[in-house]
Amino acid sequence: MTHIKVPDEAAARPPLPATALMNVASSRRLGLTSRRAVLVIVALLCAVAMLPGTARADNPIVQTIYTADPAPLVHNGRVYLYTGHDEDGSTYFTMKDWRVWSSADMVNWTDHGSPMSVATFSWASADAWAGQTVYRNGRFYWYVPVKDRASGQMAIGVGVSNSPTGPFTDAIGRPLVRNGEIDPTVLIDDDGQAYLYWGNPNLWYVRLNADMISYSGSPAQIPLTTAGFGTRTGNTSRPTLYEEGPWVYKRNGLYYNVFAAKCCSEFIGYSTAPGPTGPWTYRGTVMPTQGSSFTNHPGVIDFNGGSYFFYHNGALPGGGGFTRSVAVEKFTYNADGTIPTISMTTTGAPQAGTLNPYVRQEAETIAWASGVETEPSGEGGMNVGWIENGDHIKVKGVAFGSGATSFSARVASATSGGRIELRLDGVNGTLVGTCTVPGTGGWQTWTTVTCPVNGATGTHDLYFKYTGGSGNLFNVNWWQFTGGTGGTGGNLLTNGDLESGTTGWAASGGTLSSVTSPVHGGGRALSIAGRTASWNGTTQDVTAKLTNGTSYTTSVWVRSQSGTPSAKATLAITANGTTSYLQLTPAATVSSGGWTQLTGTATASWSGTLTGATFYVETAAGTDGFFIDDASFQ
């Protein structure tokens, strides 16, 4: 496992020469001399990082291991990120398993471990290379290239799971297709027809059946014309730019194929088409050749009103062409649907929303980690481990609201433990609490420790700085703060002030738009028009933010676009397959002449497992359009 010690802002600096960084990745198992060299490098990086006015680095988005070949999937208000895993010190694409990560805000990523590996496919011998997961009819299908043991050829397998985080099993017990080519991507078109595309050096597609694990007809080649895929020079056997890694999707009626172009080093190019099988037209560069890895690999999504481009590079210490790391940038499509040229950054995407410290958070939910690793926890999920004196984890944009009073963490230690220092906005920032972790008799013998917190109000980056003696100190499974007031401490709604357009919001019928007039506060409000039922309203997924048995206070300003409907805020709670509706505010008449505040307090509780919670503003009857502004749910 990798044990990468990087200071918080290391990656925001120009990269150090590869020779200087060579040994950092495997520092945990290094001898003393190498270890000292690592510490010198880290000290240098720390010194640079303490310079004033430096940007905070959040790319690459995983620092605990090397990751490659990103495949993002948006499901129920979260982004699930499926990646490959480059083994430490690789000199080839030595990849044995795939990994899953997820985030509700694009900066704090939860490690879900490895729910699928080469061993999942009994017929495969090696090469857990670039795949993609899609959702259909309650199941998640993960298409991957692996080496077929019998033929020695690369083939496409398909894993299946009822959960986005697995575990995944081999859906059919044999390759779905096998022609020696790699890198599957799947598009499910609006008419329900699914297409599997893959290929290097060719580009293939086949129509998948509705079961997603079989197909109709035979695999066909998409003609690699220079009009469709650009002109490559200097390689007569490959006249077009298409190399590998296709990512096919549809947006506003246009079909996109974003792919790794030219070799080597690769850049990311793209083509568009009026239909799923073409004809394709080459549109140019998405991301130029950058970033210390001779491959690159695209993944593109829309999430909470923003567009995001995932890729990989060699930016971590010890990184390179076979020790890659996944990163992300936010971008905006041009008005004609073309994609702007995107450059790699060390700052990454902005945070979409905040993180709620008053619900249980996994210790492996991380914006930036230095020195630690993760592992499967005996209590389920993953835990953070291999913590040594001075290691740290940053969690970004933590909304403490009116103030935290105490902190609890689930910890285990086979040695004598240590301390968790809670610091704001820097690894040496304001200390707001210190929790002492005792020895518990085992690395998976868990206990909960609690300590007082002072001075944590408003929204800050939270740093867990781990201190103690030598060697491994303790493991952490999860943590949670207790709030000074109201039990929650902060607005759980993303973009509650509506100043970030429609970010975080959706419509349960009707059309959503961000407007500049009328507004209640600030410069923008949210409009919902074209409603055809009273329950059509403005909605926001709050599943990950809710705590069972907690009392929530709601405030939202509403104004009708016509008529005088009665408006209310409602929470739809789905647990154990049943949905119940909690009225958050009494219904109140709203008009087009001014703003009306809906307020109320209600307790959210459920039995069994919570699978969905949606905050609604709707009307008691009628279909008049309305505006909302300055919404809070806390």
Residues identified as active-site:
69, 243
Residue 35 has φ and ψ, to the nearest 5°, of -60, -45
To the nearest whole angstrom, how small is the minimum distance from the Cβ of residue 130 to ligand FUB? 3
User: Taking the CB of residue 520, how many other CB atoms lie within 10 A of it?
Assistant: 20
State the minimum distance, in angstroms, from the CB of residue 57 to ligand FUB: 23
Instruction: Report in angstroms how near the CB of residue 245 gets to ligand FUB at its nearest.
Output: 4
From candidates 93, 259, 368, 633, binder to ligand FUB by CB under 6 A? 93
147 binds ligand FUB (CB under 6 A): no
Please list every residue from 49 through 68 that binds ligand FUB, using CB under 6 A: 68
DSSP helix, strand, coil percent of the chain (3-state; round to 5): 5, 45, 50
Residues sharing a CB contact under 8 Å with residue 427, sequence separation 6 or more, in sequence order: 7, 8, 370, 392, 394, 463, 465
And the tokens for 536?
């059509």
Per-residue contact track with ligand FUB, 234 to 263, x per CB under 6 A? ----------xx--------------x---
Q: How far apart are CA 210 and CA 215, in angstroms?
A: 9
Q: Decide: is 84 part of the binding site for ligand FUB (CB under 6 A).
A: yes
130 binds ligand FUB (CB under 6 A): yes
Rg, C-alpha atoms of the chain: 25
Pairwise CA distance, residues 249 & 269, whole Å = 14
Token duo for residue 462: 């939270």
Dihedral class, residue 77 (left if φ above 0, else alpha if ψ from -120 to 50, else beta): left
Nearest-angstrom CA–CA distance, 41 and 323: 19
CA–CA separation, 174 and 177 (whole Å): 9
Tokens representing 349 are: 């995407």
| Rounded Cα–Cα distance for residues 102 and 109 (Å) | 5
Pick the closest to residue 246 from 314, 178, 196 (CA basis): 196
What contacts 204, CB < 8 A, 6 or more positions away? 177, 179, 181, 197, 198, 219, 220, 221, 222
Binding to ligand FUB, residues 283-312 (CB under 6 A): 295, 297
**Could you check whether the bond before residue 279 is cis, i.e. omega within 30 degrees of 0?**
yes
Instruction: Check residue 8 for interaction with ligand FUB (CB under 6 A).
Output: no
Residue 473's φ and ψ, nearest 5 degrees, are -95, -55
Angle at 165 between CA 162 and CA 170, to 5 degrees: 60
Taking CB under 6 A as the rule, does residue 181 contact ligand FUB?
A: no
Spatial CB neighbours of 27, under 8 Å, sequence gap ≥ 6 = 3, 4, 5, 34, 35, 38
Q: How many whole angstroms separate alpha carbon 148 and alpha carbon 146?
A: 6
Burial (CB < 10 A; 0-12, 13-18, 19+), residue 165, is middle
Residue 292 or 472 having the CB closest to ligand FUB: 292
Q: Give burial (CB, 10 Å; 0-12/13-18/19+) of 253.
A: exposed
Interacting residue with ligand FUB among 87, 105, 181, 183 (CB under 6 A)? 183
Closest CA to 338 of 293, 413, 297, 281: 281
User: In 137-221, which ranges are E strands?
Assistant: 139-148, 154-161, 169-170, 177-178, 185-188, 194-198, 204-208, 215-221
Considering the complex, state which of residue 243 and residue 364 has its C-beta at the smaller distance from ligand FUB. Answer: 243
- Residue 328 near ligand FUB by CB under 6 A: no
Residue 142 zone, left/alpha/beta (φ > 0; ψ -120 to 50; rest): beta
* Contact status, residue 322 vs residue 91, Cβ threshold 8 Å: yes
Q: Which is nearer to ligand FUB, 66 or 463 (CB)?
A: 66
**Contact track, ligand FUB, 100-129, x by CB under 6 A:** -----------------------------x
Task: Let me know: does 88 contact 111? Beta carbons within 8 Å.
Answer: no
- If one asks whether residue 69 binds ligand FUB (CB under 6 A), the answer comes out as yes
Per CB under 6 A, residues contacting ligand FUB are 68-69, 84, 93, 95, 129-130, 145, 182-183, 244-245, 260, 295, 297
